[in-house]
Structure formats: C-alpha cells, structure tokens
Structure 1
Amino acid sequence: MLSSFNITFLGTASAQPTSTRNHSSLALRLGSEVWLFDCGESTQRQIQASKGIRMGKIRKVFITHTHGDHIFGLLPLLASCMNGAGGTIDGVDDPRTNSNEVECSEPFEIYGPAGTRAFVRGGLRWTHTLLGSKYMVHELLFNTDPDEGEEKTIPLHASEILGRNIRQNSDGNWTDIFHNPLLSVSAAPILHSVPCVGYVVQEAPIPGKMDIMLYKPHILRNKAPMSLLSKLQAGEMVTLPDGTIMEPPPRKPGRKIVILGDTYDPSPIATLGEDADVLIHEATNAYLSGIDPTTKEDESEELVENRTKSRGHSTPQMAGTFARRIRAKRLVLNHFSARYRGDDDVSDEARYIMEAIGNLAKQAYGSDKVTCARDCMSLEVDKPS
C-alpha cells in the first residue's frame, strides 16, 4: 500500500493563463514518486512554487490531448528533469551526454494521444536539446489512427527509446497501460474538440482490517511467533505447525482517481471511473447572473451551456451530473475561464464567485463534497476506512 496519495494542482486555467491561474497541470505524488497529468506552459515554475514536489522525482507524464495549454510545458520540463543541455561543440566533452550515465537510469515515460511523440521528438530536435538520460513516448491510438504518424518524418532523437503504440480495446478503452504491484493506469476517450483521453489511476487492493482475536488463539496453541500477524496483514497465507491454515483478512479496493482532460461529454470513461474516490472534472464556464459582474444581460443558463459545449467544454452542472452518475465520493472542479480568479483564499470577490460555481455543481451532484481547485492547492486522498 502506498504511503501517500496526494494531488497538487499546478495549473487550473483554461485556454489563457492569468495572474492567479497557470496553464493546466497537476502532480500526483505516489509515495516517493511523482507523476504529472498534462504539462502546460510554465509547469516547471509552478513545481518550484509548490511544496513537496521535487523535479527529480518526476518519472511519468500523462497528456490528455495536444492542445498547447496542456502540452507546451513538456519540453522544458524534460530538459530540467533530465539534465538537458543545448547543442555542444565538437571535441568538447559534456558529462551529461556520457552514455554510461544514461544506461543506469530508468527511462522517463510519457503517455499521450497520437501526435505526442512527434511533438516531443521534433521539439527536441529543432531546439538542439541534448538530454542526460533516456525517455520514451507511448501513444494511445484511436482505431482510426494510422500505425505511424508525423513522427516517421523526424529522425529518432539520440535519447529516445521507441515507446509502445497502444491500440484501443474492443470496448474502446486502453486498459492497464501501466501497472505494477501497487498501481495501474487505464484510459478512455472523452469527447472534446480534438482527440482527448481521461485517465483512471487505481491502487491495488489493500489489506482489510484485521481482527487479531480470530488468529491469536491458533498462534498461541502452536506456540508460534506473534510476528505471523504481520504476514497475515500483508496478505500472506500462513500454515501453522499443526496444519492449521490461516487466511489473511479479505482485501478491499484501493484508492481510485479519475483525471479528465477537456471535455463536453466524458461518458466513455464512466464504467472505468465508477466509485472513484476523487473525480477531477473541468468546469470552464458558468452562468452566474447577479453574482458575476461580467455576466451579459442576454445570457441564460441554456445559452451558456450550449456555448460551452460547442467549444468542447463543461459547466459546473455538467461536472456534478457526471460525478453523480459514476458515484464519485468527491468532485474537484478544474480548468476555469480567465474570468474566474484563482485567489479565492484571499480575495472576497473571487471567493464569492468560486463558492457560487461550487454550489452549482453541488446541486447537480447531490453532495457537498465539491472543491474548486486553485493553483498550488494540495489534497490528500485518504486510505479506505
């Protein structure tokens, strides 16, 4: 079981950053490792401004779609995380390009839809960026995508290991694109103005609560060490000297987080996302008549929703409705229009507006467990009780 499961929002703006909201990115701290989901412009600066996130701990980046406000920060982040350098002069050695150092580290992994690999490869090539270790890009291909995209026209970068092309399953999802004994990541398409995916991070089942009195009499009767309880708690089966077999307590589901990119309809990810501990859903625009002074007289709730959908985005009510549909335990709203300030921890006006946005989502969700994200905000995903 992971010691920590922490989400830090590095950027909560939509298309345009503001003085209080940066472009889209969030960091997921999983024990000692950090994964990023999207990487908008200035993400590395936001990392430096955040508490508890170290650049050197980032090992994976998951891109939801290739719009610039979600990916333009990826190349500078790679250079910072991987000891990057500009072009070198022939005959002058740079230790960062030493192949022995490259081989001793695990490759930095990037996941994203078609186009991600070409963006990274071309960007590194045309900026003459050298990296001190290896990276690989795994692309989540829709069934309509060709086996090779624009990257075939760009020579492989010196630090690139060719990643996987991961095709959709028969149900349209990408299941277990990453997994280890503690975690798995799956993905599904979500509807936006361009190909876009949402990610589901699932912790492996964790040990259930142990009733020591069910085991203690058998251990004492066999004069076996009480340390066997720790093996049982870890999920191991124990056989005592008299042949008694003690089964570990039943395991219970681990924590689940659903991280959506931009979307006007995330229905395809609903099954994967059911019973999520946290759903992170965009809420780009809201109808706030009498609350937001920028609301126009000719606007209505229906007009704002239709206009928001036409641009591939969601309102707070749409986010709340989807959270109720998948029975999410907590909803976090994200990706706000530039008209909604992100300093609601200090500004009365911003707090008033963001509370109104949260209330719209709560009404549709049927729960008070709604949070409007702001930059550098962190939340811990609690262990199941």
Structure 2
Amino acid sequence: MVSSVSVTFLGTASAQPSTTRNHSSLALRLDGDVWLFDCGEATQHQVQKSSVKMSKIQKIFITHTHGDHIFGLLPLLASRLNGAGGMANGADDPRAQGAAHSLATEPIEIYGPYGTRAYVRSGLVYTHTLLGGPYVVHELRFASDPPPSADSSTLPLNSAELSTGRNIVQQADGTWPDIFTSDQFIVSAAPIKHSVPCVGYVILERPVPGKMNPSLYIPHLKRTRMPLSVLRQLQQGESVTLPDGTLLEGPQRRPGRKLVILGDTYDPSPIASIAADADILIHEATNAHLPGVDPDTKAADTYEIVHERATSRGHSTPQMAGAFAKRIGARKLVLNHFSARYAGDDDLNETARKIMEAIRDSAQDKFDTDKEVICARDFMTVDVEARNS
C-alpha cells in the first residue's frame, strides 16, 4: 500500500513561459517513486529546483506533442539516464553498442500519442546523444493513426531504446484501458478534444485495506502461536481460520484514490466515463474574463467572447473546468495551464493574488461550493488524501 500520494507542479504556464511560470509538467509522487506528466522546456531545471528527485523518475506520460508539453523530454532523459554527446562515428563508445540494455536498471517508460517515439528517436540521433540507461516508448494510437503495426519513425531502434514498446490500440469506446497495471495502480487514458490529438490520464489506486480495530481480534490472537503474523494478514483484509476453527475476517477493503490529469482541452467529455468520482481533477484554465480585476482585460470583451477565443484555440476557461468537475463528481479541482498574463507569484504579488482568486471563484461558481478549488503555481504540492470509505 502506498502511504503518500501527492502532485508537485513543475510548470503551470500555457504556450509561453513567464518569469513566474514554467512550461507544463507535473510530478505525481507515490511514496518515493515519481511519474511525470508532460515535460515542457526546462523541466529538468524545475526538477532541480524542487524537492522532486531526478533519480526517482520512472515513467513519463505525454498528453500531446505540442512543444510546450514535450520540448523538455530529451534533455530530461539525458540527465536522468546519464547521457552525453557522442561522436558521429563513435562506435567505440559502449553506449553506442547497446550497453545500456545490459544495465540492471528498469527502463524509463514513456507513454504518449503517435509521434512520441519518432520525436525521441530522431532527437537523440541528430544530436548524437548517447544514453547510459534504457528507455521504452509506448504509443497510444488513435483510430485515425496509421495501423498499429506501423512505427512512427523511419529511423532504426536507438541503442538505448528497448524493442518492447507497444502500440496501444484505441478501444471501441475511444479509451485506452489499463495501459499500465501494477499491484497498486492502474493507469488508463482517453482522448480529450484539443487542436491536435490529445489524451487525458486516469490513475486509479487499487482497493486498500480498511481501518483496523485491533480490540476486535486481541482475545482471539492470544490463542495463536504467531499473533503478529495473523494480525498482518487481517490488516490486508484477508480471512484467517484459527486452529480451533474460529474464522476471523479482516476489515473490508476501501476504494483507492483516483486522479484525473488532463492535457490541453476545450472539451474533455470523451474521458468523462472513466474519470467519474475522481479525488482530484487537474484541468486547464488557460483564459479567463476578469473585468475590474485583470487590468489587461479588453474593454470590448465579454465572457462569451473570451470563451469563444479560448475554445477556438483548443482551450478552456475556469467556468468550463468547474462545470466538468461537477459533471464527473470530482472531490477537488486543481486549475492549471494558465496564460502568461496570469502571474504565478500570487503569494507575493497582490494583483496576481486577486486575479487568481477571481479565476478560482469563476470555477467554483460552476463546481460545488463545498468542494475545494485550487489554482496551481510552480512548485506547489497538493496531497491526495486516502479515502475514509
């Protein structure tokens, strides 16, 4: 069982970074392990400035291949996998001979839409970058993409790239269920509407042991030779039959935590069915109409105009994020991916604070008043609490 689940935002800007917001990336922290979602320019610098440990990054999930979500992937891979610039004819370098495959380390797993594999492979080839550890790319194939058997790159397999990368077929309902599974988590994905193919991810923790009331079991445990061993079994929700025939049943398991992490979108409806009942929804809120609060608000603008402008570019307003959070029954909404005009130093800047409060209130108005809405800023960490029932 994972005791601590949290999200650290490494970049919360939209198309252009600013002095207070870096390009898109966030780190999902599962006890000591780290999974990145998107990897915009300078993500590795943000990791170095944060409490996230580079060496703990195991998986990277890309929502779409726009530059502000993927330009930092190659530099981060080079840092994470001890990469170095090689020579064009550097066949004598052990990394060029595939030594990375023989390392006893698990590969970095990269998930993303069609083109992710080609981007990584070509970037490494044409920068003559040699990696000191293995990686693998799994592509989520839309129905409109080339056949699953077709590779997204005409280049040969990179010396550090494992050949086990999957081309994951989109199901009839449009989703990609169970793209990753472990004893503790299941990751699924679904398309969300943007200006280019884009996906959202759902991370579901498997059911966890229920709360234990030891007083119910102590009288029985005293009659066993290994009470601690029996107690551990009960804590995991198992049933134990004692030598005298007494059946002890552990507490019923509780639902695990559920996170929904969206990429850029003007309509995430296709993911709604697998996103329902999320503990945390992370949703973009690129543009907002804030008359009287944002000094850069155009006099001729109305909410309808801003809404139309945002959706025409594939993006959302805070109200759209709040409405979707309500639709799927989310417990908490975190707004992300803000226009460069919205500064991320609202803990110090009074104008920025008022703007972000207004953005939060706009989303809250369409969400539930008794549920929390948070505006993300760089290096903010949000904990995901375990469910009580």
TM-score by length of 1: 0.95
2:63 matched residue in structure 1: 64
Report how far residue 237 of structure 1 moved: 2.2
CA contact (8 A) 2:115 2:153 kept: no
1:235 aligns with 2:234: no
**Partner AA of 2:159 in structure 1:** A
- What residue is the counterpart of 1:73 in the other structure? 72
- Is the Cα contact below 8 Å between 1:114 and 1:141 reproduced in 2? yes
1:153 paired to 2:163: no
1:10 partner SS: strand
Structure 2 residue ranges without an equivalent (≥5): none
Please name the residue that 1:315 is paired with. Answer: 317
1:162-200 Cα deviation digits (max 9, x unpaired): 300001122211111001001110000000010000001
Higher mean alpha-carbon deviation, 98-107 vs 188-197, is at: 98-107
Tell me what 1:176 maps to. Answer: 178
Deviations 1:281-332 (A, max 9, x none): 0000001011111111110011111111111000000000000111111000
Residue by residue over 1:121-142, the C-alpha shift from the partner in whole angstroms, topping out at 9 and shown as x without a partner, is: 1111111110111111000001
Structure 1 residue corresponding to 2:357, chosen from 355, 366, 371:
355
Deviates more, 1:100-109 or 1:269-278: 100-109
- Residues 91 and 316 of structure 1, relative CA distance in 2, 3 Å threshold: closer
Partner of 2:217, secondary structure, is: helix
What residue number does 2:258 align with? Answer: 256
Supply the distance in 2 between the matched residues of 1:203 and 1:229 (Cα, whole angstroms): 23
Query: In the alignment, residue 55 of structure 2 is paired with which amino acid?
Result: G
Equivalent runs, 1:278-297 vs 2, <5 Å: 278-297=280-299
Number of residue equivalences? 384
Q: For structure 1, list consecutive stretches of 5 or more residues without a partner in the other structure.
A: none
* Match in the other structure for 2:32: 32
Q: Is the 8 A contact 1:4 1:31 kept in 2?
A: yes
Aligned to 1:382: 385
Moved more, 333-342 or 167-176: 167-176
Matched residues in 2 for 1:224 and 1:3: separation? 26
Please tell me the residue identity of whatever aligns with 1:315. T
CA contact (8 A) 1:224 1:240 kept: no
C-alpha distance in structure 1 between counterparts of 2:140 and 2:37, whole Å: 15
Matches of 1:194 and 1:101, distance apart in 2: 34
Instruction: Report if the CA contact (8 A) 2:121-2:153 is conserved.
Output: no
1:131 maps to 131
AA matched with 2:347: D
Q: Quick one: structure 1 residues 75 and 224, their matched pair in 2 at CA, closer, same or farther if it must change by over 3 Å?
A: closer
What's the CA shift for 1:274? 1.0
State how far apart, in whole Å, the 2-side matches of 1:40 and 1:226 are. 48
2:187 counterpart residue number? 185
Aligned with 1:302 (options 301, 304, 312) = 304
In structure 1, the residue matched to 2:373 is 370
Structure 2 partner of 1:110: 110
Asked if structure 2 preserves the Cα contact closer than 8 Å seen for 1:118 and 1:149, the reply is no
Matched residue SS, 2:353: helix
- Give runs of aligned pairs for residues 323-334 of structure 1, distance below 5 A: 323-334=325-336
Tell me the TM-score normalized by structure 2.
0.94
**What is the CA–CA distance in structure 2 between the aligned matches of 1:232 and 1:54, rounded to whole Å?**
35
Percentage of matched positions with identical amino acids: 62
1:266 matched to 2:252? The reply is no
Quickly say closer, same or farther: Cα 1:319–1:128, change in 2 above 3 A: same
The residue aligned with 1:82 is 81
- Which letter does structure 2 place at the counterpart of 1:292? D
Match of 1:196 in 2: 198
Contact 1:256/1:276 (8 A) holds in 2: yes
2 CA distance for matches of 1:14 and 1:144?
Answer: 27
Give, in whole Å, the separation in 1 of the partners of 2:305 and 2:379.
32
Give the whole-Å Cα distance in 2 for the aligned partners of 1:380 and 1:139: 29
Judging changes above 3 Å, is the alpha-carbon distance between structure 1 residues 92 and 143 closer, same or farther for their aligned structure 2 residues?
A: closer
Task: Give per-residue Cα distances to partners, 1:137-161, cap 9 Å, x unaligned.
Answer: 0000011211255634112111111
The aligned residue for residue 54 of structure 1 is: 53
Q: Structure 1 stretch 250-259 or stretch 151-160: which is displaced more?
A: 151-160
1:343 and 2:345 aligned? yes
> Deviation per CA, 1:230-249, whole angstroms, max 9, x where unpaired?
22002332120012222221
User: Is the 8 Å Cα contact of residues 10 and 43 (structure 1) preserved in structure 2?
Assistant: yes
Q: 1:203 to 1:175 in 2, by over 3 A?
A: same
